Amino acid sequence: MSDAERWIVVVEEPFLPADAGGRVETFGFLTAASNAGIRMQLLVPTRDELDVEAYEAAVPGAAVIRLPRDPSPLAHLRAQPYMYASRPVGPLRRALQATPPRAEAVISYSYRGSHLGEEIARIWRLPHLVRAHNIESEFFKALARSSSGPRAAAYEMEYRKLQLAERTLYHSPLVTAIGDISIEDHLWRSERASVATFHLPPFLPLDVLAPGGVSAAAGADVPRRAPATLVFVGSLDTPPNIEALHWFVDSCWAAIRARYPEAVFQVVGRRPEPGLADWLGGITGVELYTDVPSTDEYVSAATVSVNPMRSGSGVNIKAVAAMALGTPVVSTRTGSRGLNWEAGTHLSVADEPASFVDAVCGLLADPGRAQLLGRSGRAYVLRNLGHEALLQLMRDQLPPVTTAAN
């Protein structure tokens, strides 16, 4: 693709290190765009200082601009959703005055920054594509229903604000199209939006999509994997992940250990919530690894990746990333939603504790079957999630580029 193709990209938050689902997917997209020769002005909202040189080195060809966030409690009290109010438009306007955009399109690579993308589209009259990772209002509705006290009230207020903001976005003249990561979310949104909607599957990092992947995952032999080692990867301060861990540890782990006393469960993630380490540390066979440079080595060495999600929307990147590495996945239906893969062929799906335990233990008992499932899952990812094909889905929603940017 010509280097005259230029996009302004607004991301949700700092994405380095790319050590959790949303960060992994965002970095995968930016890597794909950079490798395709797309020149980007990359706007990164953050409360902290930003190592601009490191970000520009990670995304060659991008001009990185830090946007300050508002962490004050007042942001919760504004009429806008907190995710909008904490990413104020004022600093964006000042940044664009200092560095005028040279672009054919603006990409809001998260609903949480879409108001910033709308402002750019309004001022510079650019087509605007919004990447949606889930249905935010439904996510906060679920959080409110599963919480109590002041926290439930705060989640309920954010849910109500988000409902109004989403309805506005669905009919905004400043939005060209919305690309949902999940098929189910796309269908849900398409019934409510007058702007164009489409399914845009997740971008994964190039290293796991390259031939052989990390540690030659596609053709790896079973003996390279640690025996009877299960792994769970995810941010350890988000309610859906904590809920999933509690369900698996409380309802499944003892039964798995009864069949396989040597089994080990590795929990790998960032920012563990208070008390998590003490809780997991008291459970036999459970190991906690926090804030590691890369989760890939843990996933690629595990016998099985478990994804016991009980709530949430979008696509669980942890499951897709494990499949890309050739590691067999056992997931709940909630954790496996969003893509058109086949249960039993690309991954194993079970919702009840007994069936989940049986699925895990069945793979531990049959290394050949586990290897076959892992290879099938990786083949699905390579076949359906190639970077160029996903970028073309985005381009198809934007007006064609006819001249080089000025």
Instruction: Encode burial over 65-103: b for 16+ CB neighbours within 10 A, e otherwise.
Output: bbbbbbeeeebeeeebbbbbbbbbeebbeebbeeeebeb
Which strand (E) or helix (H) includes residue 155? helix 149-169
**d(Cα 391, Cα 398) in Å, to the nearest integer?**
11
pLDDT in tens, the chain (406 residues): 445 699 999 999 999 988 777 898 999 999 999 999 999 999 999 999 999 999 999 999 999 999 999 989 999 999 999 999 999 999 998 888 777 778 999 999 999 999 999 999 999 999 999 999 999 999 899 889 888 999 999 999 999 999 999 999 999 999 999 999 999 999 999 999 999 999 999 999 877 776 655 554 434 433 356 789 999 999 999 889 999 999 999 999 999 999 999 999 999 998 899 999 999 999 999 999 998 888 889 999 999 999 999 987 778 898 999 999 999 999 999 999 989 899 999 999 999 999 999 999 999 999 999 999 999 999 999 999 999 999 999 999 999 865 544 4
Q: What's the sign of the alpha-carbon dihedral 185, 191, 193, 199?
A: positive
Does the predicted model carry a pTM greater than 0.85?
Answer: yes
* Biggest distance spanned by C-alpha atoms of the chain: 67
CB 302 within 8 A of CB 327: yes
For the CA atoms of the chain, what is the radius of gyration?
21
10 closest CA partner among 121, 85, 94, 148 = 121
pLDDT at 294: 84
**d(Cα 8, Cα 119) in Å, to the nearest integer?**
12
**Local structure of residue 202 (DSSP, 8 states):** P
pLDDT at 217: 45
Q: Is 250 exposed, middle or buried (0-12, 13-18, 19+ CB in 10 A)?
A: exposed
Query: Helix (H, G, I), strand (E, B), or coil: what is residue 249?
Result: helix
Please report where in the chains the tokens 């938050």 appear, as a residue.
13
Which strand (E) or helix (H) includes residue 280? helix 276-281
Q: Which two tokens stand for residue 340?
A: 């058109």
Angle at 267 between CA 231 and CA 244, to 5 degrees: 90
Q: Helices 21-35 and 387-396 sit at what angle, rounded to 10 degrees?
A: 80
Cis before 17? omega within 30: yes
Angle at 387 between CA 28 and CA 38, to 5 degrees: 80
pLDDT at 225: 64
Listed in sequence order, the residues at least 6 apart from 74 whose beta carbon sits closer than 8 Å to its beta carbon are none
**d(Cα 96, Cα 124) in Å, to the nearest integer?**
10
CB 335 within 8 A of CB 319: yes
Please report where in the chains the tokens 């509690």 appear, as a residue.
246
3-state secondary structure 173-197: CCCCEEEECCHHHHHHHHCCCCCEE
115 closest CA partner among 65, 185, 165, 48 = 165
**Local structure of residue 272 (DSSP, 8 states):** P
State the Cα torsion 63-66-67-70 to the nearest 10°.
160
In order of start, what are the domains of the chain with their CATH numbers?
6-203+387-396 (3.40.50.2000), 207-384 (3.40.50.2000)
pLDDT at 373: 98
CB 321 within 8 A of CB 216: no
